[in-house]
Copies of this chain bind each other. A is one copy, B any other.
Amino acid sequence: MYAAAVQDLIDELGRLPGIGPKSAQRIAFYLLKQSSDDALRLARAIHVVKERVTWCRRCYNIAEGPPGEASGNAECGICRDPGRDPSVICVVEEPRDVVAVEKTRDYRGLYHVLQGAISPIDGIGGAQLRVRELLTRLGTEEEVREVILCANPNIEGEATTLYLTMLLRELPIKLTAIAHGVPVGGDLEYADEITLGRALAGRREVVG
């Protein structure tokens, strides 16, 4: 129905996560109406990312290398920072979780990005994640004293935490997981029963 080039663009946009056919159409028409410069900036940004951005060879967070040399030897800004504490590794699912933890400004250790979570329904097990790379790190980086499991508080995240606990508990390394409980600023009335149950189970003595 549309010109072939427009239909191609709609199809490509529709493949992006969270973009349905209607949104894809809307975005395609938006790009059509924009000046060439504005629309091509997006195309260029995709090019630059695919050319320069790769995974940190140590923690598998996002790392930026010089153009063309992206693959293989880049290190992310956190791993390169000599001010970080290499004795603690916080294990997260995705690079966006690194950003979330960094925003707390409370954490000065390193990370390990699994690049996913265990999800049997989607056929994702330990072999599809950066678990082997984590084990290699724990075997070679002798200064590691603690591993903090920081997966998402959902089914896949819990399965990932359980899986890593089974795998790592024999190692002579302190293994911790982030606390679940009622969110700060929340209202007890609106907390779901599972969260509240976790908050009760994880109660701590008030030092008085």
B-contacting residues of A (Cβ < 8 Å)?
Answer: 1-6, 8-9, 11-13, 15-19, 23, 25-33, 36, 39-50, 52-53, 62-64, 76-77, 94-96, 99, 102-103, 115
Complex Cα distance, B71 from A32, in Å, reads 13
A2 in contact with B99 (CB, 8 Å): yes
The 3 A-B residue pairs with the shortest CB-CB distance, nearest first, are: A3-B64, A43-B43, A43-B46
Main secondary structure of the interface of A (DSSP, over half): helix
A62 contacts B2, C-beta separation under 8 Å: yes
List, in ascending order, chain B residues with CB within 8 A of A3's CB. Answer: 52-53, 62-64, 76-77
Chain B nearest CB from A51 CB (Å) reads 8
Given the known interface contacts A17-B26, A18-B27, A62-B32, the answer about A46 and B39 at a Cβ–Cβ threshold of 8 Å is yes
Q: By the criterion CB–CB under 8 Å, are B29 and A40 in contact?
A: no
Interface centre among A5, A27, A28 (most CB of B within 10 A): A5
